[in-house]
């Protein structure tokens, strides 16, 4: 990770608490690190990378913040409820919820796994978290341009099921904006281009060699994990755009909705 990246002012989140789903590695881990560096107490959520999550928690506690590690399968309602019960016992509530975890390209999963994780689980996590989110809380949903613009711009066939399921998740969450606004909870979608060094990029490159290089050439630049995570962290605190959307990186190749 680039040491020069400090997207949030130190101490600016002191006394706040934040949960990032899928934060034992990759974009989630860097996002939770940035929030902790700004003084937030954090919840590191993982599905099956407990040692990585614990190692990150130890690192972040060195910053003087609390770091709670909670394993949860987001496609399992009881598992999600247990996670938020633990968050409530530890922190009493949540100020920031980052919906970062996603997937669907893994092998050996059920046919509708992408939809279960990228739509149904996202809604479940939000609804289960609601009692912990007070006025002024912020919810951030992390997606990709390939998913956000899937209705107007085709993507690689290998990624299409994931893109469609992530867009379905985004739509389902957006439907809840009026109800969230009534409670004083803000909501923002952060959409990024292909991110260098992510699991998704690796799997896509394996299925479609040269795909990432081709996209990099079209876009001029692709963000790396820590750079994109910095944008996600900023989205958790900066004013929400009027359309509830922050677009990160080149969008010229994507047709407007």
- Domains: count for the chain: 1
Is the model's pLDDT at 133 over the cut of 70?
Answer: yes
In a domain, 210, yes or no: no
pTM of the model: 0.94
Confidence of residue 257 (pLDDT cuts 50, 70, 90): low
Per-residue pLDDT tens digits for 49-59: 899 999 999 99
Q: What is the pLDDT of residue 4?
A: 55
In a domain, 132, yes or no: yes
CATH number for the domain that contains residue 42: 3.40.50.720
In a domain, 3, yes or no: no
Confidence of residue 1 (pLDDT cuts 50, 70, 90): very low
Q: What is the mean predicted confidence (pLDDT) over 239-247? A: 96
In a domain, 183, yes or no: yes
**3-class DSSP string for the chain:** CCCCCCCCCCCCCCCCEEEECCCCCHHHHHHHHHHHHCCCEEEEEECCCHHHHHHHHHHHHCCCCCEEEEECCCCCHHHHHHHHHHHHHHHCCEEEEEECCCCCCCCCCCCCHHHHHHHHHHHHHHHHHHHHEEEEEEEEEEEEHHHHCCCCCCCCCCCHHHHHHHHHHHHHHHCCHHHHHHCCCEEEEEEECCCECCHHHHHHHHHCCCHHHHHHHHHCCCCEHHHHHHHHHHHCCCCCCCCCEEEECCCCCCCCC
Per-residue pLDDT tens digits for 139-163: 999 999 999 999 999 988 888 999 9
In a domain, 80, yes or no: yes
Residue 143 belongs to domain spanning: 17-192+225-248
Per-chain mean pLDDT for the chain: 92
């Amino acid at each position: 990770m680039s040491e020069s990246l400090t997207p949030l002012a130190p101490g600016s989140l002191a006394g706040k608490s934040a949960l990032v789903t899928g934060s034992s590695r990759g974009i989630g881990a860097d996002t939770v690190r940035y929030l902790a560096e700004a003084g937030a107490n954090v919840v590191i959520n993982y599905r099956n990378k407990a040692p990585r999550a614990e190692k990150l928690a130890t690192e972040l506690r060195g910053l003087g913040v609390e770091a709670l590690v909670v394993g949860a399968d987001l496609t399992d309602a009881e598992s999600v409820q247990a996670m938020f019960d633990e968050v409530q016992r530890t922190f009493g509530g949540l100020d920031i919820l980052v919906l970062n975890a996603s997937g669907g390209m893994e092998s050996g999963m059920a046919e509708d796994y992408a939809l279960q994780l990228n739509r149904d689980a996202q809604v479940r996590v939000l609804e289960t978290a609601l009692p912990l989110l007070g006025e002024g809380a912020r919810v951030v949903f992390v997606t990709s341009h390939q998913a956000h613009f899937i209705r107007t711009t085709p993507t690689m066939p290998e990624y299409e099921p994931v893109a469609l399921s992530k867009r379905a998740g985004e739509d389902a969450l957006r439907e809840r904006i009026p109800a969230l606004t009534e409670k004083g909870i803000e909501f923002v979608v952060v959409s990024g281009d292909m991110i260098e060094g992510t699991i998704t990029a690796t799997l896509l490159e394996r299925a479609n060699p040269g795909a990432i290089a081709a996209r990099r050439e079209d876009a001029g630049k692709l963000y790396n994990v820590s750079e994109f995570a910095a944008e996600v962290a900023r989205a958790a605190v900066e004013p929400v755009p009027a359309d509830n959307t922050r677009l990160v990186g080149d969008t010229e190749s994507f047709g407007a909705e």
